[in-house]
Every structure is written in structure tokens, then in C-alpha cells.
A and B are shown apart, each in its own frame.
Chain A
Amino acid sequence: MSTIRTNADDLTLTGAAPVEESVNGEGTRRSWPEWQKILFRIAFVFFLAMSIPNSAGWYTDLVTFDWTRLHYRDVYDIARFGSGLDLFGKSIFGSQLEGYATWIITALAAIAVGLIWTVIVKAIKREPREYNLLYYWLRVVVRYRAGIGIIGFGYTKLMPTQMPYPSYGLLNTNFGDFTLQKIYWLSVGIVPWYQVFAGVVELTAGILLFFRGTTTLGAILLLGALGDIVYVNFAYDGGVHVYSSYFVLLAAFLLIKDIPKFWNLLILERFTVPNSYYPAFSEKWQQYVRYGLKAFVFGLFVFYLFWLQYVNFKYDPYKQPSTAGIKVLRGNYNVTEFKINNREISYSPTDTVRWQWATFENWTTLTFKVNKPTPLDLSNGGGAPMRDLGRTFELTGTGGGQRVFHYLADTVEHTLYLQDKYVKGGPRDGVGQLQQREARQGQAGAGGEGGQPQRRGEGTGGRDGNGGNWISKAALARIGDENKMIDPLGQSARRDREFAAKPRRGKRNRMILKYSTTDGSRVILRGVNEKKDSIYVVLDRVERPYVLAKSTLNAGKYN
């Protein structure tokens, strides 16, 4: 049988590269081979360019944010920025290469700069023997960039808001009536605790990257988790493939240093010396700066962002409307009677005018089904619109004849002012996250494909576009200030700003319907629909059981 060879012959002194290290760790180490130095110069330029924000907007945001009344999205936006060189445009050979063109351009520029750098150091004969110190700092930059970025994502899952649990309207939609993107987002939304788990993984990876000793583990975790997400984005057409591959790239870069060690220890089974280089922070001020910066990053992105995200989850979940809907109305309704211009239409699944099934959501949304093709919003329904009207997750990527209307409720006169959440020529970002901000800042970067401009803050006020004053001043007064309808804790400067902004002129379908009900079991709606026809609708509540288990972790406050 086998034997143990403790004095293994591969542990010999021969052929060993002498390890020279001075006591304080500032090694007079072996010099790097030429190719390694050239490669490093290129990598240095490339990863630096890929790690720092490339848009002016990011920097102005830092200054202009009201830091006393932050919204989670403010800090999230600081963590999530585009990078890479886009001075030369965002396409190469006329193609955006699925959004990766910025990477290629940055790489080409880095090669050019790296080579020039090489020529210069040779010309002036000042070539260093190695770049240990620069390499160390480059890794610091990449570690923090990746760590901060992934934490921004992690928190929206840790407190499940990124993928909301489906609303009634979505639960009633057939599986075949969704886009692939929607199918994936929903499949995570139905299991909030799994989303929490995914958030824990991302958060852990991020925090591990903040420490030198745990960087390897953090990078492996990041590579595994985000590698999967990249594939998910390609498979489900999720649109976030570039930004997720960005983390894979950074994680892979962080692991390069470790691969020879893995190989040496596990495959060659040889004695392995870590051979790490760390600058000595011997001066007092250096220590202060180091721990000060670390504490700042932790304070802002780990603790403060946690709180902001918690508040968002609790009172203003960014993908679903946050204003509570009229309590007595909520639920599933069969459309028992439907009259249009006083002509009754009896129920038929093939009729193209009649409403077939309606829901009042927990928030200010009415949905109903009509068996007639309608333009669809195929975006991800993301971004961070502050107005409920702009929060379209319940609508995007969903067909099946579903109509989704936001309402402002005048509960004194029992009148609903409804606006279609679908807007012609509205957001077609196809991505949903970064584009909104980039559109605002007028530029995009490595973070994603260039999206078309996205409108923000849709008008809900009385004085916009088509239809003029469709809500009377008196009614507006009775409805109240939508901005203040959520819990005070959830309010923020960002929200104020968007509500104060002049509403965009949007061509939306509108209805004004009076509702009457005693306890919600029967609701009668009458008024004028989006085509100026008068309608009369009798809704009867149906207790519709679902096979899918209810969520045990609900975002938002609707009571």
C-alpha cells in the first residue's frame, strides 16, 4: 500500500529563488521581467480608467446632494457609476458590441499609454526594477471599487426591493405573457428570502474585499456570484450584462496574483511563500488617513446605506408605488357588468372592448384586462422614479391584455383620476438601472449600453400637456400633496426635488371615474374612459386563492 514520504524530495533547496525581504516589509525584491513591466503599465492605465467615474455628473452629484436628507438612491448612485474611456464615443467600428465597446476602447487607449510610458522610461533611463508599490495601490483602488459597487447592489436584495413580489395584476397574468427578463425578475421576486440570501452573498463579497487578508475569498465569491449573473443577463435578456461582467473583470484581476500560489500549493504541491508586498504606513498621519478613509467607506456604504435602504424597503420600495391605495377597494374583481355609452356588453373572452377582470392593488393602481393588442413597455421597470406613476414594474414586460392605471384619489368626492402607466415614447431603456442617471447626465460609460433618454417624474399635476387642467384645483386640494403621502421617514430631498420639477408633457391615456361601494365587495365605477366614452362598470370582489405562497417579507407600508 502507500507510504508517506515526509522528507519529500520536492522540498529541496535547489532551484529556489532566494526570497529577499527586509524586516520592515519594503522589499528589495527581485526585479520584474520586461514583459511583466510592460503588461503592468497597460493594466495600470486600464484598471484605473475602469475604476474611476467617467462622468462629470457623478462629481457634481457629490457636491449637490443634500447630505442631510439623502435617499438610498443617492448613495446607490455614488456606488454605481459608469467608467472607462468614452471620450472617443461608445461604439467601435460602428458597433456598441453589446455595450462592451467602451471596454475595448479603454483597452486600446491603455495599450497606447502603456507603450508610450515604456518608451519614456527607457528614453530617460529611469526604469524601476519593479512596480510593487503601484501594483499594491492599483489593487486597493480595484478592491474598493468592486467592494463598494457590489454592496450597492447587495442591499437592494438584502432588503428585497430589487425584485418585488408580484402584484395581483402580475399574479393573474399567464406565464406565457411575460418577457424573459420579467420571468427571471419575478422568479426571484416570489422568494424574498432567497433574495435576502443573494444579498448576503453580495454584501459579504463586498466587505471581504475591503480587507487585504480576505480579498482572495471575496474575489472568488464575487467571481462566482456575478459570473452567474452575467450569464443570466445574456440568457434572459436582462440588459445588465455589461455592468455585471464589470465585476467579473475586477474580481478576475484581483485573483491573478493568487493563481500562481494556488497552482504551486495545490497542483505542484510545493512549499509556497506568499511573497506579498505591503507599503509600511509608519508615519502617524499615514495611519490616520488610512483608517480614516476606511472608516469613511464603511460608514457611508456599509452602515449609512444600510439604514437608507432599510427606510426605502420599509416606506418607499423603489420599484413599486409607495402611496397606499384606497383600503376598501383592494383585491381581485370580476367585471360583472360593463356598459359603454349606455350599451351593455356581456362577458366574452373574445370581446375587444369590455373589461374582463380588474384588480385594485395595495397601492394606487387599478388594473384590468382587455382582449385587444396594446403597445407594451418592454423595459425593466427600474430606475428610481420618485412618482408612483413612473414606477412601472407592475406593467413592464407584461402582455396578456393587461392595462395598468395609476390613480389619484379624491376620497371626499369618491373620484379616481387615472392615468395609464404606459406612456407612448416613454422609457425604452431596456436596462432600467444606470441609463436613467446617464440620460440625466447626458453620457454613458462602461456601465451599460447607451439607453435612449428616459423621462423622469411624470406629470401628475393638473396643468400638463393634453387635456389641460384635467384635475380641478379644488380636487387637487382634496387629493393632497402626493409627495407627503408616504411615511415622513421615507421622505427625502430627492423626492422633493422630483415632485417640485415641472411635470413632463406625456401623452397618456386618462380616465376620471367616480367609485361607489359600501365595503368593497361590490364596486361601481362610472365616468369617462380614455377614449372619452362614458362607462359604467360593476365590479364584484372575488376571493381568488393562489397556489403560489404569499410573501412573508413585504416591502412598503400600505396600511
Chain B
Amino acid sequence: MPQNPIHQHPAAAALQGAPLSATADRTTTPELERPGAWSPIEKVLFRIAFIYFVIQSIPLDWKYFRRVFQINWLNLTYGDIFDLARYQPRFFGGQDTFLNWLVVLVIAIIGAVIWGNRDKDRRDYNQLYYWLRVIVRYRLAAGLIAYGFIKFYPLQAPEPSLSNLNTAYGDLSAWKLFALSLGVVPNYESFLGLVELAGGLLLLHRKTTTIATLIIIPFTGNVFFSNLAYEGGEYVYSFYLIVLALFLFAFDANRLFRLFALEKPTIPNLFKPDFSDSRLKFGRVALKAVFVLFFVVVYGSKTYAGYHSNPYQYPTKAGLPDAAGIYNVEQFVINGDTLAYSPLDSVRWKDVVFEKWATLSIRAARPQVIDSTNVEQIHFDDAKRNFEFAGSGGRNYYGYELDENAKTLKLTNKVNASDQFALHYSRPDSVTIRLSGVSNGRDSLQVVLKKINKKYLFQEVKKVGRRGEFKL
């Protein structure tokens, strides 16, 4: 039921013989009782919050500026902008920890005590509160947009590699499965990115901030719980974003509670920033424009270009031409011994995957160290790109140097660099690859690989749908 906008003075509503409830409330409405003045406890809390959120939001950490100066600003990448948007003050090295927050809180409390002693007669902090919200709004917006675009253009969780598709479900970590399960549905990933972007963009306007928080809190709340459940490494950071959003939501929380839960007449925010000073007006527009230009226009177009030509999770170096696929290991001879097929043999390879890029993975029964990276990092150096093998057991991953003239492959294990192969290859037909050479400088190897015409269920089902008889 639409309503006519009602803009009448609250006192007048009472005078009109209006509802009893409204009359009763008049005395409990703080704004009416003591117009504008903040209670001592509100002031104390505000001083703490101010210092706390300023430290949490504005980059003051020297490590951040070291990063800023490392950036090649003439050849800016989306990875650089992503890093810049991911600021959080760190006092402790290593893994992100809530201890960092504790330090900030202690500083904030000490600062608030000193500040309180020097500023006893203050009537209110409406202005400072406004500016603090501005800082937090933009900080939060940057954080959301940074993650929003790499989902909107599905970069963060790319489609699973052939090796990943040929890994047993139980040989993948929960976090890896989370990423792969998102990667198979790029349009859903884009949708999630869109929600995140909408939340971020609505923060750029003062009046839509609360609506933005209604999107952000459930969304990032879900991200936070996903991080906890799937053993992701970003639960501290996602909770950091939630706290910023909760802080912004708190501004209108009472009003919304009053209007929707108590269903009582409610006075809106009465504070309006005054931008009558032309310098201030100009500064505001300029800063807003710079923010939008940098985090929306530049970052948006760079992630778009990245999605088309320069995604970041998989290596870029091209692999052996026309070799991509999974191969059965038809023959395996080590130091002259031919080993028969065996599912349990710890030496014999079971199957081999050639990716489109220069990665080769071998399924083998031998135990291996598993990369446990579970935080988002954008690298433009192939050697640092670990998405394909992070959280993944069951296979050994090798990067290789290809010499097409000499027909050699020089394999190096991506997790354990001392594990290397120097192999010569020949391709008698389009489905066969013969490898011969030396592993780890010790054992001689002769391997015959036969390409398997592997069909992946979810891709096949897409072609025919889920109804009717289906055989695979």
C-alpha cells in the first residue's frame, strides 16, 4: 500500500489528537527531549569508535606504502588495485589474526581517554560522525568493489582445470571444492559479483548507505561463514568488512527498529553536511570522481580485459601444442623394469594430464605435500600461480620447459622443486605421447601415454538435459 509522503513536524502530529502511542513516545524520543546533545556515554563510545575506525580504514601502515611504491604506475594491473583495496593494518606478520584488531582497539581506548580529557564540554560529534562515516563508507566500498569485479568477470574462481576434473572428490580440500564448485557456474559467480558491486556502489551515496548495508551484511556474512566452514583464510578480512558495514548500519538501526518493529512515527536523520563552501563542494566532487575513476572505471575495465586476455589463476605459458587432455599410462618402464598396471603401486604413474598451459600432472599413489593456500592473491608471474594445485591431493603437478626443436620437456614439481624430470618426447600419432628420459637424475624412464576420450558428466548433461535415459 503506497503512502503519501508525510512530512509534518512531530510535535504537530501529537497536537492533532493523533494516536496515543505517538504522544507517549514523544518523551522517549531523544531528539525531541534534548535536541542534539549527546550523552556522556555516547561521546565516550564515539571517541573510541572514531579512532578505531580511522586506524582500521585509512592506510597508515608503512607496509602499505611500500606496496604503493612497488607498483609500476605506468603499467598498472588489476592485481595492483586489488591489493591496494585490501588494506588492513597489520602489527603481526604471518597469518591474519584478530590480534591486530585488539591492538587497534587498545590504541583507540587510550586515545579516547586523552581526547575526552581535552574535550569535556563538547555538545555533540555530529560532524565528526558524518566524516567518519564518509571514511568508512569509501573504505568498505573499495573492499567490496575489489572482490566484486573479479567475480563479476569470473576470474576468482575459474573453470576447473583438466587436472582438477580428474581428481577424486575426497582428494580436494573443502576450500578447493568451494572454489571449483563456483568455477563450474561462471554466470552464478557473475551474479554474486554483481550483488557485491551493487552493495559497494550504493555506499558511494550517503542516502543509500543503509540500503547498501542491508545487502552487504547478509552477503559478507555468508562469505564469513563460508570461510569458517570451508577453512578459507579470509575470515578475519570478511569479518572486518562486516564490522564496517555494521558500524554504518548502526546509524539508522534505531530508526528502522522504531519504524518497522515498534511501528511508531519516526524522525529521520536531521544532520545534513553543509557544502555551501565552494572549495569543499569542489573537493567533494573531485574526490568522489577520483574514487569512481580508479576503483570503478579503471579497475572495472582492467578486470574486464583480464577476463578476456589475462586471467590470473592459471599459468599463461603455452603447453605442448594439441596435447591437452588426460592420458592413460599404457607402458611404464623404470630402469629397464616394465611395471604392470596397479592401483596401489607407489612408483608407477596411473594417468597423466597435459593442460593447455605448461603444466603436466601425474596421478600417483605416493604421498605428497599439499599446498594449503586459502587466501586470494593475484599474481602475474606463472611461478607464483598456485590455484591449480592448492588444496589438491592425488596428483603431482609439474611445470615444464618445452623445447619443440629438441623435443624435450624439463619438468619441475610445483610444490617440491627438487623433484625434476628431463624427458624427450615423441608423438607417433595424435593420441600417443612417448616420453623417455631421467627422473631426479637417477632413474631412467620410458613411458607411453594414450589419450583417453574422456567425457565430463556435467558438460555432457548440459547438451542433453537431465531427462530421459542417459549413459556415460
Binding site for B on A (CB under 8 A): 1-6, 8, 10-13, 15-19, 21, 23, 32, 36, 135, 166, 170-181, 183-184, 186-187, 190-191, 193-194, 197, 212-214, 216-217, 220-221, 224-225, 228, 231-232, 235-237, 239, 256-258, 260-262, 264-276, 334, 346-350, 356-357, 373-376, 378-379, 397-400, 428, 430, 452, 542, 544, 546-549
From B259, B328, B394, B454, name the one whose CB has the most chain A CB atoms within 10 angstroms.
B259
Enumerate 27 A-B pairs (CB-CB under 8 Å) in ascending A order: A2-B274, A2-B275, A3-B274, A11-B8, A17-B4, A175-B180, A176-B454, A183-B180, A183-B184, A217-B261, A258-B260, A260-B2, A261-B259, A264-B6, A265-B268, A266-B210, A269-B268, A270-B268, A347-B342, A347-B343, A349-B350, A349-B351, A374-B472, A375-B469, A546-B171, A547-B172, A547-B391
Question: Within 8 Å of chain A (Cβ to Cβ): is B13?
Answer: yes
Q: Interface size (B, Cβ < 8 Å)?
A: 108
> Is the CB–CB distance between B169 and A186 below 8 Å?
yes
Contact partner of B184 among A180, A346, A373, CB < 8 A?
A: A180
Q: In the assembled complex, which residues on chain B have CB atoms less than 8 Å from the CB atom of A260? A: 2-3, 5
Instruction: Provide the residues of chain A in CB contact with B344, threshold 8 Å.
Output: 334, 542
Verify A175–B208 contact, CB threshold 8 A: no
Chain B residue nearest in CB terms to A194: B229
**Are B472 and A373 closer than 8 Å at their CB atoms?**
yes
A272 touches B188 (CB 8 A): no
CB distance from B277 to the nearest CB of A (A): 8
Question: B343: which A residues are within 8 A, CB to CB?
Answer: 334, 347, 356-357
Task: Judge whether B262 is part of the interface by a CB distance below 8 angstroms.
Answer: yes
Contacts of A221 in B (CB 8 A): 218
B267 on the A face (CB < 8 A): yes
Q: Which of B98-129 contact A (CB under 8 A)?
A: 124, 126-127
| Contact yes or no, A166 B170, CB < 8 A | yes
Residues of A close to B263: CB separation below 8 A: 212-213, 274, 276
Tell me the nearest residue of chain B to A32, going by C-beta.
B1
CA distance A371 to B6 in the complex (A): 72
Known: A4-B270, A270-B7, A546-B170. A179 touches B16 (CB 8 A): no
Q: 5 extra interchain contacts, Cβ-Cβ under 8 A, other than A19-B16, A171-B169, A175-B160?
A: A36-B2, A174-B168, A262-B211, A265-B266, A273-B266
Q: State in angstroms the CA–CA spacing of A1 and B128 once bound together.
A: 11
Instruction: Decide yes or no whether B19 CB sits under 8 A from chain A.
Output: yes
Chain B residues near A176: list those with CB within 8 A.
160, 164-166, 454, 456-458
Q: A180-B184, A270-B6 are in contact. Are A172 and B328 (CB under 8 A)?
A: no
Q: Which residues of B221-265 are within 8 A (CB) of A? A: 222, 225-226, 228-231, 252, 255-256, 259-265
- Write the B342-374 contact mask toward A (1 if CB under 8 angstroms, else 0): 111000001100000000000000000010000
CA distance A6 to B36 in the complex (A): 8
Cβ-defined contact, A349 with B328, below 8 A: yes
Residue of B nearest to A19 (CB): B18
Given known pairs A184-B181, A357-B343, the reply for A175 and B259 (CB within 8 Å) is no
Query: Is B291 in the interface zone, CB < 8 Å from A?
Result: no
B466 and A430 form a contact (CB under 8 A): yes
Q: When the two chains form their complex, are residues A19 and B13 in contact, meaning their CB atoms are under 8 A apart? A: yes
Smallest CB–CB gap between B111 and chain A, Å? 22
B265 touching A175, Cβ below 8 Å = no
Residues of B within 8 A of A (CB): 1-10, 12-13, 16, 18-20, 22, 31, 35-36, 124, 126-127, 130, 160, 164-174, 177-178, 180-181, 184-185, 187-188, 191, 207-208, 210-211, 214-215, 218-219, 222, 225-226, 228-231, 252, 255-256, 259-275, 277, 280, 328, 340-344, 350-351, 370, 391-394, 454, 456-458, 461-462, 466-472
Given contacts A175-B169, A272-B268, contact A194 B273 (CB under 8 A): no
| Residue from the list B5, B168, B208, B467 in contact with A173, Cβ < 8 A | B168
Closest 3 CB pairs of A and B: A176-B165, A171-B170, A194-B229
Docked-complex contact A430 and B5, CB < 8 angstroms? no
- CB–CB A4/B36 < 8 A: yes
Contact B268 A547 (CB under 8 A): no
Q: How far is the CB of B275 from chain A (nearest CB, A)?
A: 7
Q: Chain A residues with Cβ under 8 A from B4's Cβ?
A: 17
Contacts of A268 in B (CB 8 A): 5, 7, 268
B21 to chain A, nearest CB (A): 9
- Nearest chain A CB to B429's CB is how many angstroms away? 17
Question: What residue in chain B is nearest A17 (Cβ atoms)?
Answer: B4
